[in-house]
Amino acid sequence: MNLKHIFPLIAIVGVILTVRDCRHVQVGFQRMKWPVADGTVTDATVVDGRLHRPRVTYHYAVDGVEYVAITDLKAPYFGAKSTRKEVAYKTIADHPKHSLVRVYYDPDNPMNSYLTPRPTWDEFTRMSLGVMLMLAGAGGILATRRPRESPQQ
C-alpha cells in the first residue's frame, strides 16, 4: 500500500478519537457541577497483582436512598511496577477507612458517582493521541502531495 493512502486513514482515525474523547473530557467537566453528597469510605485496599490498583469502597445517601460504590480513582496503570504500587498505596492512604468524602452523583441516576469529578488523565491522553494522529495524517497528506506545476511564461 502506498504511503499516500495511509495518511488519510491516520487523519480520519485521529479525528474520530479527538471527537469521541473531547466529548468524554466535556462530560468530565460537567460532572464537576453535579450535586454533592457526604459519603464514608467503608474499605480501602490495594488489589495486588500485575497492576497494583487501589480499590476504594464508599457509601452515600441521596434522598434517603443508600448507595455503595467502588472506585479505583482512575489511578494510572502505566510505569514501573514499583511506581504503580506506590501510587496505589498513596491513593488508599488519602482515603482511609471511615474517612468522610465528597461524592459527586449524577442527578439523573444517583447510582452513578465519582469522588473526583474532573476529567481523568486517560481521557486527556486519548484525546491528545487523537490530535497527534490527526496532525500527523494531515502533515503526511500535505507532504505527499504532488507539487503544482507553475504556469509557463
Residue 43 shares a structural domain with residue 80: yes
CB 83 within 8 A of CB 52: no
Residue 150 belongs to some domain of the structure: no
- Is 60 part of a structural domain of the chain? yes
What's residue 107's pLDDT? Answer: 97
Q: Residue 105: inside a domain, yes or no?
A: yes
CA distance 50 to 85: 10
**pLDDT the model gives residue 42:** 97
Q: Going edge to edge, which strands form the sheet with 36-47?
A: 65-71, 53-62, 36-47, 100-106, 109-114
71 lies in the same domain as 83: yes
Q: Are residues 101 and 49 in the same domain?
A: yes
Same domain, yes or no: 70 and 15:
no
Q: Would you state the pLDDT for residue 103? A: 97
Q: Residue 43 has what pLDDT?
A: 95
Same domain, 26 and 55: no
Same domain as 141, residue 102: no
Whether residue 68 lies inside any domain: the answer is yes
Q: Do residues 40 and 107 both lie within one domain?
A: yes
137 and 101 inside one domain? no
Which range marks the domain in which residue 18 is found? 1-32+118-145
Same domain, 19 and 58: no
44 and 89 co-located in one domain: yes
Domain assignment of residue 107, yes or no: yes
* pLDDT (0 to 100) of residue 81: 56
3-class SS shares of the chain: helix, strand, coil, % to 5: 45, 25, 30
Q: What is the pTM of this model?
A: 0.70
- Indicate the number of domains in the chain: 2
- Examine the domain organization and report whether 62 and 96 are in the same domain: yes
Please list the pLDDT of the chain residue by residue as tens digits (153 residues). Answer: 566 788 889 999 999 988 888 888 888 889 899 999 999 999 999 887 677 788 899 999 999 999 999 987 776 655 555 677 888 888 889 999 999 999 999 999 999 999 988 887 777 788 888 889 989 988 888 888 766 666 665
